[in-house]
Structure 1
Amino acid sequence: MNVQPIEALSDNYIWVMDESNRAVVVDPGESAKVLGYLKENQFNLEAILLTHEHDDHIGGVKEVLADYPDVPVYGPKETEQLNTQTVEDGDTFEVLDQTVQVFKTAGHSAEHISFLIGSALFCGDALFSGGCGRVFTGDYQAQYDALQVFNQLDDGIFVYAGHEYTQTNLRFAQSIESTNESISEELEQVNALREQDDPTLPSTIGKEKRINLFLKADSVEKFTDLRNARDGFS
């Protein structure tokens, strides 16, 4: 299975999995680039996966479905107006002849979910490289619990997050732990990638356990303090 990013909006990634001539799209926040990519590569769209309700992740769904009206849409309760199948924590289903596991990873939104397909984790805005999503719900416990879900995954799992926030996340991390060599080395590599306008994703769970301060927070109180500090960082 191949996974490729489509750069969308200001800093979103729409992820496309493909196998042979079949494809699955994750979080199509806009439609034109998705439709162009599918047609250019002569892919048959097999499914759409949605992690949460924010418009920059679902804004293109209806337009994609206009061209592919029979394609199933799997998403959480909060996107049920778009779903053909609403899924929740613990559910499984099949795409591209592989089993998809569903995890609830709330906090950024109330019913945010993530999908694990083989060694590929599609985590929307629940986890970023070097960071996590803003807690728009105000439920810091839920977001902390989501991070513990990710902490339990194998180190070799690839992390396909929804935004290109790695550089800022690592600058923030370095401001907190200035002597952390793992963070400094990773920031140097990320700076080089961004100078070439190359994606910093996917990351891996193992890497995130080394560089992501939010994953390393050992209490919801410490997580909350970190998240509030990150909210004020630019």
Structure 2
Amino acid sequence: MSILDILFPKKCVGCGRAEANICPKCAKTARLAFPQVCPACERASIGGVTHKRCVKSGLPDGLISIWAYERLIRNVVKKLKYRFVYEIAEELGILASNELNKVIAEGWIPKNDKIVMVPVPLHWTRENWRGFNHSREVAKIIGEQLGWRVVDLLTRVKKTRSQVGLGEKDRQKNMEGVFSLSLPLCQGFAGQASLRCGNDWTIILFDDVWTTGSTMKEAIKVLKQAGFKEIWCLTLAR
């Protein structure tokens, strides 16, 4: 136990016990996001695969969300994002990995030795204010647990207003032109000068919550333009 744990003991977000930010008992109460849905029409889809009738440019091949965005998970995500409780990222990442192992066993996530997890970036002003990118920190833990490579392929080049309270059309407009490719990172990652060399990689775009998908869909446009063909979305909650 560290001196920080003594001075600032962890309390479970769910029950308030001084044990962990998410105690094992409360973790079991978090409702899984079931059924998985097509990211286009948001109707039930086995494994979250995009329906054939819904396939069009700018959409992922599928969407996997782990939990329903309610009660415990909603409070945990808010505590991580807005109260800057950094260590929650590790607990969330481990819990998420445990659930993802089940998803992998079911064959819902495509088996590919070249899986790269790409966290949705924050604008540099927000990341500096917060001190970290919550999506990246959770992604790093998931990557360590599952053996996935985590790479910052995207940069947020435009500062936007909060998406909270916006309707779907306003969210889409708010996110237009927000992302660009991290050029040196992508070139080094792909190992070639041309960016159109990612065909054999499976990109798993990661963020905390799927609401309308406007943020992730805008990021997908940039990744598709770079030549990446297979792109899945993964979120903690929906």
* Structure-1-length-normalised TM-score: 0.28
Q: Higher strand share goes to which structure?
A: 1
Higher relative contact order structure (alpha carbons within 8 Å, sequence separation ≥ 6): 2
* Structure-2-length-normalised TM-score: 0.28
